[in-house]
Amino acid sequence: MIVITNTILIKEGHGQAVAERFANAKGVQDMPGFVRMEVWLGKSKEAEAEELKVSTVWEDEASFKNWTQSESFRASHRGAGGSKDVLLGSTLNQYELVVSPLNAAE
C-alpha cells in the first residue's frame, strides 16, 4: 500500500476555498486500486501562507500511475488554473506503508 501526498502552499486566507475543490472530487474514487483520500489544512511554516495536504492511498504504485494517466485525472484537473493566483507552490511525495497497528499482528 502507498500514500501519495501533494502538499500545496496557498496564500493565507484561501486554503478553505481551495480545499473545497477536493470535496467534489469525481473519478478518483472509481479508479481500481484507490483506497481513500484525505485533505488536511494547516498553517505553513512559511510566513503568510497555509498548507493544504492532499493524501491519496492506493493499493500499489501501478494503480496510482494508472490514475495519473487516465482521462478521469485530466478531467478532474481541468479548471485548476482558477486557483493559480493563490497557489504558491506544491510538492508531491510517495510513501510505502511499512508499519500499522492494524497489520502489526499479521
The tens digit of pLDDT for each residue in 18-36 reads: 998 888 777 899 999 999 9
CA–CA gap between residue 30 and residue 17 (Å, rounded): 24
Could you give all domains of the chain from N- to C-terminal order, each with its CATH number? 2-96 (3.30.70.100)
- What are the backbone dihedrals phi and psi of residue 27, each rounded to the nearest 5 degrees, phi first? 100, -45
**pTM confidence score:** 0.83
- What are the backbone dihedrals phi and psi of residue 61, each rounded to the nearest 5 degrees, phi first? -65, -35
Q: Across all residues in the chain, what is the average pLDDT?
A: 88
pLDDT in tens, 68-99: 999 988 888 776 555 678 999 999 999 999 98
- The pLDDT-based confidence of 44 (bands split at 50, 70, 90) is confident
Q: What is the pLDDT of residue 74?
A: 87
